[in-house]
Structure 1
Amino acid sequence: MHFGFSYVGLIFLVLLTVPNLIWTRHKPKDYDHYQCQENKYLTLLERIGEVLVTCLVLIFSDFNWHSWTNWNWWLIAAALCMLLYEIFWIRYFMGSKRMTDFYAPILKIPVAGASLPVFAVLCLAIYGKNPFLALAAIILGIGHIGIHLQYQNMIRKDNH
């Protein structure tokens, strides 16, 4: 592991942040009803994971592109996850912006808006051979995916 700025990490953070900022003005109408019921432990894990991931992807240069090895497939996998994540957002913003739209799978990936960025960060951690980022991705995943699975279950209950 090598300390240094990661432009790949910065690109990933921009790809994560911009749609989320736009989303704050285009939340599904019932979102606040579900958010107030969030599991506080999952929320804490999500926040810890977000801070760790944000810091770690920027301070290790190992995440930047380097000469071709088989490890580069992990960076490609991370980029594909991010591409699917951006497609998720485009589909959401062009749709009716309902809670059910927000939790519709992409390519059978459940809670894609929560799962894909976690998978992307985990792949980036493997590419950079960075156990700290892998642990941060796992912490983020437990919180973020857990919260969104909880929301998805609440939506199913409310719709039955």
Structure 2
Amino acid sequence: MGHLGFSYIGLIFLLMLTIPNLIWTKHQPDGYDFHDENKVLLIFERVGQVLVTCTSLIFSDFNLRPWSIWTLWLVAAVILMLMYECWWIRYFKSPKGLADFYSSFCGVPVAGATLPVAAFLLLGIYGKVVWLIISVVILGIGHIGIHLQHLKEINQ
């Protein structure tokens, strides 16, 4: 279920998530408008953000431990977070249009939302912490759902 204690791996993941998003606030895509977002998805997203932030920090189960087959889950999670960073680099080098922001990356649709959600899900599996897994599902419903909604709008 999870051992309470600080997770430095969770902190690293959160920094990898937060820093590009803070930079993005100064480089938002032209025409970006969040006012018509689905309110139910928005509630899922906000609740999920709080839960994922808290649970990824307060369980020591995410920290490094001796190699086992479970370590592959952490390796996969790190790969997804590195892909997320690469997606951001591509976005920041792009014209920064809506299509750039809602783009896929290496075959992953709406990669800016999907990659970190998937990475945190794998981190939850690695740590065997059901609370993070549940939190990520809540976040994913909202965050990926909102991104898919915006992608659908710009494709119309």
User: TM-score with structure 2 length normalisation?
Assistant: 0.98
Structure 1, residues 93-132: CA drift from partner, whole Å, max 9, x if none? 0110000011121111100000000000000000000011
CA RMSD of aligned residues (A): 0.5
Show the counterpart of 1:25.
26
Return the alpha-carbon distance in structure 1 between the equivalents of residues 100 and 14 of structure 2. Answer: 24
Return the alpha-carbon distance in structure 1 between the equivalents of residues 103 and 14 of structure 2. Answer: 23
2:141 aligned partner, one-letter code: I
Structure 1 segment 63-78 matched on structure 2, within 5 A: 63-78=62-77
Correspondence 1:45 to 2:44 = yes
Identical positions, percent: 57
Structure 1, residues 45-98: CA drift from partner, whole Å, max 9, x if none? 000000000000000000001000000000001000100000000000011000
Correspondence 1:15 to 2:32 = no
Show the counterpart of 1:4.
5
Correspondence 1:154 to 2:153 = yes
Structure 1, residues 105-160: CA drift from partner, whole Å, max 9, x if none? 11111000000000000000000000110000000000000000000000001xxx
SS in 2 for 1:4: coil
Return the alpha-carbon distance in structure 2 between the equivalents of residues 2 and 87 of structure 1. Answer: 32
Return the alpha-carbon distance in structure 1 between the equivalents of residues 112 and 103 of structure 2. Answer: 9
1:3 aligned partner, one-letter code: L
Return the alpha-carbon distance in structure 2 between the equivalents of residues 72 and 49 of structure 1. Answer: 25
Query: Once superposed, which parts of structure 1, at least 4 consecutive aligned residues long, lie more than 4 Å away?
Result: none
Return the alpha-carbon distance in structure 1 between the equivalents of residues 103 and 56 of structure 2. Answer: 28
Show the counterpart of 1:87.
86
- For these two proteins, the number of residue pairs brought into alignment is 155
